[in-house]
Structure 1
Amino acid sequence: MTVTEKLIPVQVTVVECITASIKRFTLATLDGRALPTFAGGSHVLVQMQQGIQRFTNAYSLVSAPDDTRHYQIAVQREEPSRGGSAFMHEQVRVGSTLLISAPNNLFALDRRADHHLLIAGGIGITPFLSHLPELAAAKASYALHYAARGEEQAGFYAELQDGPHAAHCHFYLASTGQRLSLQQLMGAQPSGTHVYVCGPRRLIDGVLAAARVLELDSHRVHYERFAQAPASGGEFTLELRRSGHRLQVPEGVSILQAIERANLTQVDCLCREGVCGTCETPILEGEAEHHDQYLSAEEKAAQRSMLICVSRARGSRLVLDLRWSRAEGAVCEYQGRLLDPVIVYLT
């Protein structure tokens, strides 16, 4: 799969330190035109390049959907960083120009809900920051329950406490002894409630477990993982059969990351978390160690395809039927100008 959507050049107009580890970036078009519309829960892909290494990360839009004069994203510095968060924190500043995708949404609100229960953990607050103004504008019934280790780990805690949604927000800081009981909270909700959760794996798994105990219909429980599944397993050799190109995929690096860092080709992947299915790729030889949430158990056992954003080889060699094209030859168009979609322009 090669990238088919056009990328948008944007300039960083504001950089804010929300906490010691979280920065918020405000992005606007180069000519002042409005950016594409989006709904709460959307994210964009940001492309970055540092030397020969290239990164593409997905970041939730944290600005209000009704204001497309700019977008805002929040980036938490990861330790250790796989490259993207360190680049955003250390290299990107006011005046930098980035390339982003149009918004994609895998975590939209369900309009059938009578009540919306939002559950966030740590940096998992980010997709809810665009949900909140959308819910308020619709005069919907909603509540946000936000858990973190302490104020430093609770990005946007002060803004939420003092902002227009304060009456709908509830906080649980472990540093002060406050604990969130998921089963008790979810069991106290009115009928017709839809539950949305984003945060650490433990929190998401806890919500899903509580939903099973409470026998909630699966269509009423929505979740988004804000980090990729760990790229576990040892180093292996990857071959792209159509080109005959081979590369080593190190431990701790996904196939998608290895391809991007080698500057080999552009790959469609809207989520980078193993949930959307856009990077599904046929397996020609070898077997995959599946870490995605998209393929069924039967499809995983059949070993005919895999999601290369999170899954890896079960062995020392894997051959994929991935269309290959040099990234340097790929172009995108923006208002009549051809642009290289892999370069991050820094001023």
Structure 2
Amino acid sequence: MSTTIPVRVERIEQLATGIKQFTLVAADGGALPAFDSGSHVVVHMGERANAYSLTGALSDTRRYRISVRREEQSRGGSRHLHEAVAEGDTLAISPPANLFGLADAAPRHLLIAGGIGITPFMTHIQTLEARGDDFALHYCFRNRQGAAYLDSLPLLLPETRLSLYESELGQRLDIAALLAGQPAGTHVYVCGPAQLNDAVIFAARAAGWSDERIHHEQFRNEVDTAGGAFEVTLARSGILLTVGADDTLLRAIEKAGVKVDCMCREGVCGSCETAILDGEADHRDAYLSDAEKAAQKTMMLCVSRAKGRHLVLDL
């Protein structure tokens, strides 16, 4: 597990119904690590650890900003931040990591956000503006009361670059038509609910877009732990542990005192990939290919589980 950074909650603001913005400063009063657009941090809250995009000014290393939507069906991470964290409290965060960066050279960048998926685009806008790149943002949300940044986005972007879709008013994004109207070589970026991400990816591929031009991010934060308890032997550490039905393999390993690198904790970055020495994994990640999953050579500790009752891992 990466070394964490102690931060103090400087300010908490209500951005929209169910969404709070947390401004974080270094607990020692110093500077925080610089980050690039699309970066996120992982907030560690005891056994919980959720990833949130950084939304503040890229030039400001004195403070970070994250926006957190309260998830009613969550396992407690977002509820903890909304209900138990106050201004002045101290939290631990991971150093910034980026799994959703911008392409270095593209004739146009098409940004598609759904709900709280608007957050990584708040920094992408800064980079694209600074580079003078051609881009447009399409932001889909249920209603204005529950959508973040509706006041600030029109101040940052002209109408030609910002399109809003409020589904309760019957406003829908025609993904296929939008993609068809883009110039050759355009890169598309989507962040939002799985349904939106999947629809954009499917439409882009159906239109002949290469995967190199399709970028997506989806922080699930609430890992699926369904499947019952199982045992794991850590071969190099000589540890036998039990992963509970309501726990994750990664958390169980960390609680046993074994450090594991994991940037995303969402099964998308590949940093916690570990060799399987015996047993079969129930793969739940979005990193390994179907062929790699079938080979049962490695697994992602943060989201995947055991198919049977026991696994032996090279840890």
Shorter chain as normaliser: what TM range? over 0.9
Task: Render the CA deviation track for 1:240-298: whole Å, top value 9, x for unaligned.
Answer: 333433223215x43224445x4644321111221211111222332111121222222
TM-score normalised per structure 1: 0.84
Does the Cα contact within 8 Å between 1:228 and 1:310 map onto a contact in 2?
A: no
Return closer, same or farther for 1:296/1:229 CA change in 2, 3 Å cut-off: farther
Q: In percent, how many aligned pairs have the same letter?
A: 48
Alignment of 1:39 with 2:49, yes or no, is no
- Alpha-carbon distance between aligned partners in 2 of 1:212 and 1:229, rounded to the nearest angstrom: 28
- Alpha-carbon distance between aligned partners in 1 of 2:305 and 2:183, rounded to the nearest angstrom: 42
Of 204, 216, 239, 2:197 maps to 204
Does the Cα contact within 8 Å between 1:199 and 1:225 map onto a contact in 2?
A: yes
Does the Cα contact within 8 Å between 2:43 and 2:50 map onto a contact in 1?
A: yes
- Alpha-carbon distance between aligned partners in 1 of 2:48 and 2:256, rounded to the nearest angstrom: 10
The answer to which of 208-217 and 171-180 deviates more is: 208-217
- Alpha-carbon distance between aligned partners in 2 of 1:207 and 1:317, rounded to the nearest angstrom: 38
Task: Render the CA deviation track for 1:61-115: whole Å, top value 9, x for unaligned.
Answer: 0112122121101111111221211211112111111121211111111121111
Of 244, 258, 261, 2:239 maps to 244
Deviation, 1:30, is: 2.7
Q: Which residue of 1 aligns with 2:141?
A: 148
Q: Which residue of 1 aligns with 2:174?
A: 181
The answer to which of 262-271 and 64-73 deviates more is: 262-271
- Alpha-carbon distance between aligned partners in 1 of 2:229 and 2:313, rounded to the nearest angstrom: 13
Q: Which residue of 1 aligns with 2:8?
A: 11
Structure 1 residue matching 2:146: 3-state secondary structure: coil
RMSD, matched Cα: 1.9
Structure 1 residue matching 2:151: 3-state secondary structure: helix
Query: Counterpart amino acid of 2:310?
Result: R
Deviation, 1:176, is: 0.6
- Alpha-carbon distance between aligned partners in 2 of 1:152 and 1:318, rounded to the nearest angstrom: 47
Query: Counterpart amino acid of 1:66?
Result: S
Alignment of 1:21 with 2:18, yes or no, is yes
- Alpha-carbon distance between aligned partners in 1 of 2:238 and 2:44, rounded to the nearest angstrom: 24
Query: Counterpart amino acid of 2:112?
Result: I
- Alpha-carbon distance between aligned partners in 2 of 1:184 and 1:258, rounded to the nearest angstrom: 46
- Alpha-carbon distance between aligned partners in 1 of 2:13 and 2:260, rounded to the nearest angstrom: 31
Larger RCO (CA within 8 A; separation ≥ 6): 1
Does the Cα contact within 8 Å between 1:229 and 1:291 map onto a contact in 2?
A: no
Does the Cα contact within 8 Å between 2:50 and 2:77 map onto a contact in 1?
A: yes
How do 1:311-322 and structure 2 match up within 5 A?
Answer: 311-322=304-315
- Alpha-carbon distance between aligned partners in 1 of 2:285 and 2:228, rounded to the nearest angstrom: 19
Instruction: Please list every run of 5 or more consecutive structure 1 residues that lacks an aligned counterpart in the other structure.
Output: 323-347
- Alpha-carbon distance between aligned partners in 2 of 1:10 and 1:229, rounded to the nearest angstrom: 23
- Alpha-carbon distance between aligned partners in 2 of 1:245 and 1:92, rounded to the nearest angstrom: 35
- Alpha-carbon distance between aligned partners in 1 of 2:79 and 2:258, rounded to the nearest angstrom: 23
Q: Which residue of 1 aligns with 2:269?
A: 276
Alignment of 1:110 with 2:103, yes or no, is yes
- Alpha-carbon distance between aligned partners in 2 of 1:42 and 1:129, rounded to the nearest angstrom: 11
- Alpha-carbon distance between aligned partners in 2 of 1:267 and 1:75, rounded to the nearest angstrom: 26
Deviation, 1:229, is: 7.8
Q: Which residue of 1 aligns with 2:71?
A: 78
Query: Counterpart amino acid of 2:240?
Result: H
- Alpha-carbon distance between aligned partners in 2 of 1:44 and 1:31, rounded to the nearest angstrom: 18
Deviation, 1:28, is: 0.9
Structure 2 residue matching 1:102: 3-state secondary structure: coil
Instruction: Please list every run of 5 or more consecutive structure 2 residues that lacks an aligned counterpart in the other structure.
Output: none
Does the Cα contact within 8 Å between 1:200 and 1:226 map onto a contact in 2?
A: no
Q: How many residues are paired up?
A: 312
- Alpha-carbon distance between aligned partners in 1 of 2:127 and 2:101, rounded to the nearest angstrom: 11
Return closer, same or farther for 1:245/1:152 CA change in 2, 3 Å cut-off: farther
TM-score normalised per structure 2: 0.93
- Alpha-carbon distance between aligned partners in 1 of 2:229 and 2:191, rounded to the nearest angstrom: 32
Q: Which residue of 2 aligns with 1:333?
A: none
Return closer, same or farther for 1:81/1:223 CA change in 2, 3 Å cut-off: same
